[in-house]
Structure 1
Amino acid sequence: MTTIAVIGDPVLDQIYHASDPVLPGGKMLGRFFGSVPGGTTANFACAAARFGLEVQMIGRVADTWEGELHADALTAFGVNTDGLTAHDVARGAHTVIIIGPDGEKTLVYVPFPLDAAINPAVLQGHDMVYVMAADFDRIAPHLPGATAEICVDADAAAGLSAEGFARVAASAHVVFVNDVGFRKLTGEDPDRDNVAALLDQGPSLVCCTGGAGITYVATRDGEGQVLCLHRPARPARVVDTTGAGDCFNAAFLARRAQGADLAEALDFAIAAGALATEVTGAREAIPTPQSVADRMGR
C-alpha cells in the first residue's frame, strides 16, 4: 500500500448556514450547524485513507478536548495520528464557515498560534508527502534529501504570492491549484497551453481544478512529450462545497498510486469531487470508492 504523510494542522470548523448569499456589509439570518473537525489537510487525509492510501497526519493540536476530538476523528477514518503534537494553547487552528443558500462558502481561518519544526525523516519515510503551499517553507530546507514524491496544494487564498508559487513549482513533483488561484498566481487564464507551460518550471504533474468549469491535468509521457487532458465538471446537487477540492486531490493521488492511467485517475477524482458537494460537511461528504464507481456508471 502506498504511504503518504500529510503535513498540516487539523482545524475545528464552526459552521453556519445563511439565509442569503454573503455580501460585504450584508446582514442576514443564520442557523448554527455545528462544530466539526476539519481543516484542508486533515480532510484530505481522511479522504486519502478512504480511497486506499496509508496515511499519517503530521500537525499541531491544542492539548485540550480539541486535540482529542481531532485525533479521534482522524483515527475513525484510519489515519495514523502518531505525528500529531499537542501544545499548551487555549485554541488550536479554527475557522468560521458561512454557507449560503447556493452551497458556496465564506470562510475565516485562524491558524495555529505556535510554530514547530518538521522532522526531515518524514520526507524519507513515505512514498508521498502532501502539504499546503502555506506550509511549504517548513519542508523546503529538507527537500534536497527527500525521497518522497512532494505534492503541494497551491492555495492562493492562504496568502501565496506569485513568487512563492514559482518556488513551489520549482521544487514540487505534483502541484494542485484551482482556477481562481491559477489566474491570481500566473496572470493567465487556465487552458491547455498555460497549464502545460507550468511543467517547464519543474513539476512532473500540474492539475488545475475548475470547480464548476474545466479541470486540466498536464504531465509528460515517457518520451518527454507534454500530455494535457481536460474534463468538464460533473453535474451535482450542490449543498456544500467545503472539502470538495481536498476530496478531488486525494482521489486523484490514490487512483494514480493504484496504477490508474491519467485519464482514469482524473475521471475518478472529478466524480469524487462532485459527490463531495452533495452533503453538508467536508468529512461527512467523503464518498466511498464504490459510490464513486456508481456515479461513473461502472
Structure 2
Amino acid sequence: MGNVVVVGSINMDIINRVERHPEPGETIHCLDTSYSPGGKGANQAVSSSLAGSSVTMIGAVGNDAFGEVLIKALHNYGVNSSAISIEEGTSGLAFITVDEAGENTIVLSHGANGKVHSDQLSINMLKGAYAVLLQNEIPASVNEAVMRMCREEGVLVYYNPAPAHQLNEYLYDLIDTIILNETEAALISGLQVTDVASAELSAAHFINKGIKNVIITLGSKGALFKSKDSREFVPAFSVKAVDTTAAGDTFIGAFAASQASGGSVKESLVFAAAASAITVTRVGAQQSIPRKEEIEQLLNSSKL
C-alpha cells in the first residue's frame, strides 16, 4: 500500500448554525457556534488516514492559539504532522454558516496557509508515496512546483481545484486525476453541469486538455469518473444531510486511500461515496469524517 502525501491548507473552522442564510444586508441570530479543525488539505489528510492510508501532511499554521490545536488534531487522527511549519501570525480560518438543510457558505482567511512553500516537500517524502493531494487554498506557485516534483519522481497528482479558478493551460498535463464538484467543473470548463450527461461533457473538456482522469461529484446525484478509455458512475447513498462541510474532502481522501490500497476505480468510487454519505450526517469538518470500519459497515448493509 502506497503512502498518501497532502500538501495544502490547515484551518480552524468557526461554524455558525442558522435556520436560514441571511439575505444581503440582513442580520440574523445564529443557533450556536462551534470550533472545529478543518481546511481542505487537512480534511483530506484525515480522511485518507481514517480510511487506512499512511498520510503525511505538508502545510503551515500560525503561532496563535489555534496553531498547536490544529497540529495536535492531525496527530490524533494518525497523520504525520512533522513537516508542518509554524509561521508568524494567524492560522488559517474558515467562517462557515450552515442552515437547517445542511447547506453551507464559507469565507476563508488564508493566514499561515499563504506562507506554505514547496521547500517543505522533500524528495525523501515522496519515496513510497502513491499520490500527492493538492487543492487551491495555498499559493498556486507551490501547487505548480509540487506537481513538477511529482512528475519527476513518478508520483501521481490528485488535484482538487477548490476554491475554483481558471487553470494555466500548461498545468493540465501535470495532473493525473482532477476531482471537482458541479460548480467547480462548470466554472473551469465553461460548461454548465446539472446532471450526469452534462458532467460527461465537462469531463471530456478536461480530458481533451490532457488530464488523464476526471471525477465530478454531483452531490445527491452521485459521482462520475471518466478517462479517455473508461467511464464509471456511482449513485449517492441515500442519507439525511445535516451538514455538508468536508463532504467533498472526505470523498477525495477516501478515494485516494482506496486507490493506494489497490482498489479498482469502481470500488474506490463506491468506498468514497459511502465515506462522504456518513460525513454529511454529522456536524463539523474533521470530527464528521468516518473511520474505515464505519465505511465498510455502510457498504455491507447497502445494495449500492
Q: Using the alignment, how far apart are the partners of 1:141 and 1:77 within structure 2? A: 28
1:294 counterpart = 2:297: yes
Q: In the superposition, relative to structure 1, how do residues 62 and 27 fare at CA in structure 2: closer, same or farther (>3 Å)?
A: same
1:191 counterpart = 2:195: no
- Report sequence identity in percent: 23
Deviation at 1:96, TM superposition (A): 0.9
The answer on whether the counterparts of 2:43 and 2:250 sit within 8 Å (CA) in structure 1 is: yes
1:173 counterpart = 2:176: yes
- Any idea what the Cα deviations from partners look like across 1:167-207, whole Å, max 9, x if unmatched? 44321111111111111111223433441442232222110
Deviates more, 1:123-132 or 1:70-79: 123-132
- Any idea what the Cα deviations from partners look like across 1:223-243, whole Å, max 9, x if unmatched? xxx111112222111110000
RCO greater where, 1 or 2, for CA within 8 Å and sep 6 or more? 2
Written as runs of structure 1 = structure 2, the 5 A alignment for 1:139-150 is 139-141=143-145, 143=148, 145-150=152-157
SS at match of 2:263: coil
Q: In the superposition, relative to structure 1, how do residues 196 and 257 fare at CA in structure 2: closer, same or farther (>3 Å)?
A: farther
The partner residue of 2:165 within 152, 160, 164 is: 160
Q: Using the alignment, how far apart are the partners of 2:56 and 2:21 within structure 1? A: 37
SS at match of 1:83: coil
Q: Using the alignment, how far apart are the partners of 1:215 and 1:181 within structure 2? A: 14
The aligned residue for residue 3 of structure 2 is 3
State the AA in 1 paired with 2:158: C
The aligned residue for residue 206 of structure 1 is 214
Question: In proportion to residue count, which structure has more strand?
Answer: 1
Q: Which runs of 5+ in 1 are unaligned?
A: 221-225
State the AA in 2 paired with 1:265: S
The aligned residue for residue 245 of structure 1 is 248
* Matched pairs, number: 288
- How big is the alpha-carbon RMSD for the aligned residues of Structure 1 and Structure 2? 2.0
SS at match of 1:43: helix
The aligned residue for residue 283 of structure 1 is 286
The aligned residue for residue 97 of structure 2 is 98
TM-score by length of structure 2 reads 0.88
The aligned residue for residue 223 of structure 1 is none
The aligned residue for residue 14 of structure 1 is 14
The aligned residue for residue 263 of structure 2 is 260
Q: Using the alignment, how far apart are the partners of 1:258 and 1:219 within structure 2? A: 20
State the AA in 1 paired with 2:206: L
Deviates more, 1:106-115 or 1:242-251: 106-115
Q: Using the alignment, how far apart are the partners of 1:88 and 1:22 within structure 2? A: 34
SS at match of 1:296: helix
The answer on whether the counterparts of 2:217 and 2:223 sit within 8 Å (CA) in structure 1 is: yes
State the AA in 2 paired with 1:81: S
Q: In the superposition, relative to structure 1, how do residues 65 and 134 fare at CA in structure 2: closer, same or farther (>3 Å)?
A: closer
The aligned residue for residue 130 of structure 1 is 133
The aligned residue for residue 66 of structure 1 is 66
Q: Which runs of 5+ in 2 are unaligned?
A: none
SS at match of 1:86: strand
Q: Using the alignment, how far apart are the partners of 1:295 and 1:96 within structure 2? A: 31
The partner residue of 2:226 within 218, 230, 238 is: 218
State the AA in 1 paired with 2:71: A
State the AA in 2 paired with 1:29: H
- Any idea what the Cα deviations from partners look like across 1:239-258, whole Å, max 9, x if unmatched? 10000000001111111121
- Any idea what the Cα deviations from partners look like across 1:57-98, whole Å, max 9, x if unmatched? 111111233111011100000000111101121x11101111
Q: Using the alignment, how far apart are the partners of 1:256 and 1:10 within structure 2? A: 24
The answer on whether the counterparts of 1:12 and 1:35 sit within 8 Å (CA) in structure 2 is: yes
Question: In proportion to residue count, which structure has more helix?
Answer: 2
Q: In the superposition, relative to structure 1, how do residues 4 and 51 fare at CA in structure 2: closer, same or farther (>3 Å)?
A: same
TM-score by length of structure 1 reads 0.89
Deviation at 1:296, TM superposition (A): 2.1
Deviates more, 1:36-45 or 1:196-205: 196-205
